[in-house]
């Protein structure tokens, strides 16, 4: 079974459907690359997937070790290069709100974030600048 089905809608817009759930999202080419910029661009989804994956793995580690990460937020900033156009850096700022973690708990969460499947799958030439704010 396929993971997703993607349809070109015209005007540099696509609609992606998650096959098993039927959930969809739209992508647009960004303003700086001939698009409307009215939705995530494909490279935005890659960068966002990194943050979502890190947060998910920290959630799994939190559940395993009894660490509450509810309310934790991730901010993503994507940096692009040209010739060829590509992602060269992703800034990831992970902010924990009103939590007092031990050093051991911080280590568990940080290791989980850095070993998420998306982080491990991205080209090593893409800098992943991760900051944890406690």
pLDDT in tens, the chain (134 residues): 999 999 999 999 999 999 999 999 999 999 989 999 999 999 999 999 999 999 999 999 999 999 999 999 999 999 999 999 999 999 999 999 978 999 999 999 999 999 999 999 999 999 999 999 99
Tell me which of 3.40.50.300, 3.20.20.60, 3.30.300.20, 3.40.640.10 is the CATH number of domain 42-133.
3.30.300.20
Every domain range in the chain assigned CATH 3.30.300.20: 42-133
Q: pLDDT tens digits, residue range 81-96?
A: 999 999 999 999 999 9
Instruction: Assign residue 49 a region (left: φ > 0; alpha: ψ between -120 and 50; beta: otherwise).
Output: alpha
Instruction: Assign residue 19 a region (left: φ > 0; alpha: ψ between -120 and 50; beta: otherwise).
Output: alpha
The secondary structure of residue 123, as a DSSP letter, is: -
Classify the C-alpha dihedral 48-50-51-56 as positive or negative: positive
pLDDT at residue 56, rounded to an integer: 98
* Whole-number Cα distances in Å, 96 to 32, 71, 75, 101: 33, 7, 12, 9
Report d(CA 76, CA 78) in Å as an integer. Answer: 7
């Amino acid at each position: 079974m396929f993971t997703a089905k993607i349809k070109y809608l015209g005007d540099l817009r696509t609609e992606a459907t998650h096959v098993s759930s039927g959930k969809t999202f739209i992508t647009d080419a960004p303003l700086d690359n001939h698009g409307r910029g009215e939705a995530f661009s494909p490279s935005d989804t890659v960068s966002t997937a990194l943050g979502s994956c890190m947060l998910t793995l920290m959630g799994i580690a939190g559940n395993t070790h009894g660490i509450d990460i509810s309310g934790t937020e991730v901010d993503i900033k994507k940096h692009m290069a040209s010739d060829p156009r590509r992602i060269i850096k992703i800034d990831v700022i992970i902010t924990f709100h009103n939590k007092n973690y031990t050093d051991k708990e911080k280590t568990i969460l940080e290791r989980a974030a850095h070993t998420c499947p998306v982080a491990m799958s991205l080209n090593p030439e893409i800098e992943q600048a991760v900051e944890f704010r406690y």
